[in-house]
Amino acid sequence: MLGLLRMNVDQAIDEVVAIASELIRKGSQDIINREENSYRLKQVVEGMIKAGENSLDTRMYEPNSPQRKCKV
């Protein structure tokens, strides 16, 4: 999140809290629906990527790419 999505620490913390808030809802401790949780996680992560003005098809790791400034 810090390196590839170019977020600062505060933005990364906010995104982690948003992901946790979306996946852990009140009343959902008794029944775990993996499909619903996977769908919600996908939606939150896609929203985070789009908010950072990144494309959803951007690769997060390319072994032959040149070294970036940030080694995170």
Instruction: Compute the CA torsion angle 9, 70, 46, 8 (nearest 10 deg).
Output: 20
Q: Which domain holds residue 19?
A: 1-72
Q: Flag whether the pTM goes above 0.75.
A: no
User: Which run of H or of E encompasses 21?
Assistant: helix 9-23
Domain count, the chain: 1
Write down the mean pLDDT value for the chain.
Answer: 75
Q: Is the pLDDT of residue 35 over 80?
A: yes
